[in-house]
Copies of this chain bind each other. A is one copy, B any other.
Amino acid sequence: MGNADDGTYSSSNKYGSAPAAASHRVALPPPMPFVTSLRNTLKETLFPDDPLRRFKNQPPRRKVVLGLQYLFPILEWGPRYTLDSFKSDLISGITIASLAIPQGISYAKLANLPPILGLYSSFVPPLVYAMMGSSRDLAVGTVAVGSLLMGTMLGTVVNASEDPKLYLHLAFTATFVAGLFEAALGIFRLGFIIDFLSQATIVGFMSGAATVVSLQQLKGIVGLDHFTHATDIVSVMRSVFTQTHKWRWESGVLGCVFLFFLILARHLSKKKPKLFWISAMAPLTSVIMATILVYFTHAEKHGVQVIGELKRGINPSSVKDLNFDSKYLTAAIKTGIVTCIIALAEGIAVGRSFAMLKNYHIDGNKEMIAFGIMNIAGSCSSCYLTSGAFSRSAVNFNAGCKTMVSNIVMALAVMFTLLFLTPLFYYTPIVVLSSIIISAMLGIIDYDAAIHLWHVDKFDFLVCITAYIGVVFASIEIGLVLAIGLSLMRVLLFVARPKTLVLGNIPDSKVYRDIDQYQNASHVPGILILEIDSPIYFANSNYLRERMSRWIDDEEDRLKSLGETSLQYIVLDMSAVGNIDTSGISMLNEVKKMVDYRGLKLVMVNPGAEVMKKLNKSKFLETIGQEWIFLTVGEAVVACNYMLHSCTHKMNSDGSHKYNNV
């Protein structure tokens, strides 16, 4: 190790007893008043995207305009809107309307609500979102999982068939609560809460929910009247197969035929994305064909259930229907909060992924406010929970939508339907709605993503599968709680058991890297270089102390077995330690004592600004000695080697002067 002579030592006497005069010292960050540092922390925590950036250095009047544009993005893009864009939006708007109408009716059934609510919910909320939302591709309306969740959660307090009016009112109330909660999360900049739903959780949960939703449709397919309220696979299967004598083959045949047709259409569109309109038009085509079929064969008299009469006219007000009776309030609040989180997770994830493709930015907190206002307005106009739906947004995107005008077109189409076309749905068989739901759900079950998770990260896969199994075999809520619990446990485990590495020298360089990763890296005789790959907190400081002591034991064993020089220095590379708390500092003090007791010397490398500040305030810098803190591992090793060999030299006074080359 004769590489101590790289010139950094020429001034080592200047520091008296200091072992090293490395050319660069680790700096303490410039002092910052408490208020400033608190403000910075709060800003990073709550305003990481700096939403006020564009207001900087603007005249007051311009600020008002910018503020309005911030709240209502339509004011920003509206004036620049062109006829070309309108042509694209018109086509995509009509396309998603043709999907929204049958899906709206189907999802309302899923929530045990009157079918007309699905149409209402595809009218007002898209208009509100078009004013306030920042996505250009989201197709707003009711969503399958949210609908099912609302159905099962409200179903536990009120039976929808026994007291449909109360049930309806509670649905409005839950939607109102969901909207309020969404808006509050956005206003208080707490959007990061939904970041704790990891991608793996969402994949598992959505796939599970899609499975459950599809299973529920067996009721419609085989034409059963009585069906379990539970959503788990065991109850559903039991319910289906204990009633085989009540199966209606007419219904079953119709369902399977349309399901086959829909799946075929989906398959075609998937193969050739240009044929997206086939799968987009298929549901409405199915509805029209099935309705005509029933109308002429009078199948409704032979066991094929039909929708029946739909009230004509646009959304009536439902402000007076909001029910804040304390008896049901808890259930409404619980339902509202759970469905809100699910709706947000789906809506924002979908919005973000399409924004990514077109390279524009979605502000999560602002989106939440838009979703919140949309649901509050919805709950007052006979709509239930709405969000950005995945399948319809994909169709919207593929159909070439340019702006939110496609949603306005869709809303107008729905309005037209509500005003004039509702009688046409009288003979629409429910079984075709079930087929439409199943075919939409099959698109949500994402095995490819699960396989990808398995390949890349086994724990993520475990989280995903847990969420799936929880939803399918227990209930939607249990699946969600399991998946979130596991995700949080994972974060805590990550924090509690951080990586520590032994570094070695990469040949022909002054670079030190993980010995396990770089097979050619070599140990430095007499020096153990450890790297801690995480902030040091109360949650991991005990572990880190034990782990470090084990590294030292291991290294001493290794050196003994090789008969090499004994260990002299422990170099702690702190580069990756982003922060430290008081428990962490106590731990370092203990490690220092332990290292001293073993007759070794603790050396520290490159602590960051925050860590230096706290080490200084807690006087640890004095304990370890500022001269034992180096900017790079290379400099620390050079200094240790210098000390090591000049000591050896002094002890073995007959030794060569080989190392004492300063």
A residues whose Cβ falls under 8 Å from a Cβ of B: 23-24, 27-30, 34, 38, 44-45, 48-50, 53, 192, 195-201, 356, 359, 361, 364, 452-453, 455-460, 487-488, 490-499, 501, 506, 508-509, 511, 513-514, 516-519, 533-535, 537-543, 546-547, 549-550, 553, 575-579, 581-583, 585-586, 590, 593-594, 597, 606, 608-610, 612, 614, 617-618, 631-632
Partner pick for A543 among B192, B549, B575, B608, CB 8 A cutoff: B192
**Residues of the B chain whose Cβ atoms lie less than 8 Å from the Cβ of A535:** 494, 533-534
**Residues of the B chain whose Cβ atoms lie less than 8 Å from the Cβ of A490:** 537
**Residues of the B chain whose Cβ atoms lie less than 8 Å from the Cβ of A452:** 582, 618
CB-CB nearest 5 A-B residue pairs: A198-B538, A533-B578, A576-B576, A517-B609, A199-B583
Q: How far is the CB of A350 from chain B (nearest CB, A)?
A: 14
**Residues of the B chain whose Cβ atoms lie less than 8 Å from the Cβ of A196:** 492, 496, 538-539
**Residues of the B chain whose Cβ atoms lie less than 8 Å from the Cβ of A606:** 513
Among residues of B, the one whose C-beta sits closest to the C-beta of A355 is: B590
Q: How far is the CB of A62 from chain B (nearest CB, A)?
A: 18
User: Could you list some 10 contacts between A and B, CB below 8 A?
Assistant: A27-B519, A195-B538, A195-B541, A196-B538, A361-B549, A491-B491, A498-B578, A499-B608, A511-B632, A533-B578
CA distance A492 to B508 in the complex (A): 41
CA distance A535 to B590 in the complex (A): 26
CA distance A488 to B492 in the complex (A): 9
Partner pick for A575 among B29, B575, B593, CB 8 A cutoff: B575
CA distance A488 to B538 in the complex (A): 10
CA distance A458 to B488 in the complex (A): 25
B550–A49 CB distance below 8 A? yes
A539–B491 CB distance below 8 A? yes
A546–B608 CB distance below 8 A? no
- For A192, A519, A594, which residue has the most chain B Cβ atoms within 10 angstroms? A192
Partner pick for A614 among B457, B495, B581, CB 8 A cutoff: B457
Among residues of B, the one whose C-beta sits closest to the C-beta of A496 is: B192
B586–A199 CB distance below 8 A? yes
Partner pick for A457 among B499, B518, B540, B581, CB 8 A cutoff: B581
- For A44, A452, A538, A577, which residue has the most chain B Cβ atoms within 10 angstroms? A538
CA distance A197 to B496 in the complex (A): 12
Q: With A34-B458, A356-B593, A456-B614 in contact, is A499–B578 under 8 Å at CB?
A: yes
CA distance A456 to B493 in the complex (A): 26
A24–B550 CB distance below 8 A? no
B29–A509 CB distance below 8 A? no
Q: How far is the CB of A604 from chain B (nearest CB, A)?
A: 15
CA distance A516 to B581 in the complex (A): 20
CA distance A540 to B540 in the complex (A): 19
Partner pick for A45 among B30, B48, B493, CB 8 A cutoff: B493
A539–B198 CB distance below 8 A? yes
Partner pick for A540 among B195, B356, B534, CB 8 A cutoff: B195
Q: How far is the CB of A134 from chain B (nearest CB, A)?
A: 14
Among residues of B, the one whose C-beta sits closest to the C-beta of A534 is: B578
CA distance A24 to B487 in the complex (A): 37
B493–A492 CB distance below 8 A? no
**Residues of the B chain whose Cβ atoms lie less than 8 Å from the Cβ of A578:** 498-499, 533-534, 576
B511–A631 CB distance below 8 A? yes
**Residues of the B chain whose Cβ atoms lie less than 8 Å from the Cβ of A491:** 491-492, 495, 537, 539
Q: How far is the CB of A46 from chain B (nearest CB, A)?
A: 9
Q: With A582-B456, A583-B200 in contact, is A608–B195 under 8 Å at CB?
A: no
Partner pick for A494 among B579, B597, B618, CB 8 A cutoff: B579
- For A30, A196, A201, which residue has the most chain B Cβ atoms within 10 angstroms? A196
**Residues of the B chain whose Cβ atoms lie less than 8 Å from the Cβ of A577:** 576
User: A27-B518, A195-B538, A494-B537 given. 15 additional CB < 8 A pairs?
Assistant: A44-B497, A45-B493, A53-B553, A192-B543, A195-B496, A195-B541, A198-B537, A198-B582, A200-B582, A200-B583, A364-B542, A456-B614, A460-B582, A491-B492, A498-B578
CA distance A518 to B53 in the complex (A): 26
Among residues of B, the one whose C-beta sits closest to the C-beta of A29 is: B517
Among residues of B, the one whose C-beta sits closest to the C-beta of A506 is: B24
Q: With A45-B497, A582-B199, A582-B200 in contact, is A359–B542 under 8 Å at CB?
A: no
- For A29, A553, A609, which residue has the most chain B Cβ atoms within 10 angstroms? A609
Among residues of B, the one whose C-beta sits closest to the C-beta of A607 is: B517
Among residues of B, the one whose C-beta sits closest to the C-beta of A520 is: B27
**Residues of the B chain whose Cβ atoms lie less than 8 Å from the Cβ of A361:** 549
Q: How far is the CB of A21 from chain B (nearest CB, A)?
A: 14
CA distance A198 to B583 in the complex (A): 7
A200–B533 CB distance below 8 A? no
**Residues of the B chain whose Cβ atoms lie less than 8 Å from the Cβ of A609:** 514, 516-517
CA distance A511 to B608 in the complex (A): 14
Partner pick for A50 among B534, B550, B608, B632, CB 8 A cutoff: B550
Q: With A535-B494, A543-B192, A550-B49 in contact, is A514–B458 under 8 Å at CB?
A: no
Among residues of B, the one whose C-beta sits closest to the C-beta of A609 is: B517
CA distance A457 to B546 in the complex (A): 24
B617–A456 CB distance below 8 A? yes
Among residues of B, the one whose C-beta sits closest to the C-beta of A583 is: B199
Among residues of B, the one whose C-beta sits closest to the C-beta of A615 is: B456
CA distance A506 to B543 in the complex (A): 34
**Residues of the B chain whose Cβ atoms lie less than 8 Å from the Cβ of A509:** 23-24
**Residues of the B chain whose Cβ atoms lie less than 8 Å from the Cβ of A534:** 534-535, 578
CA distance A23 to B497 in the complex (A): 34
A579–B539 CB distance below 8 A? no
CA distance A514 to B631 in the complex (A): 12
Partner pick for A195 among B488, B517, B539, CB 8 A cutoff: B539
Q: How far is the CB of A594 from chain B (nearest CB, A)?
A: 7
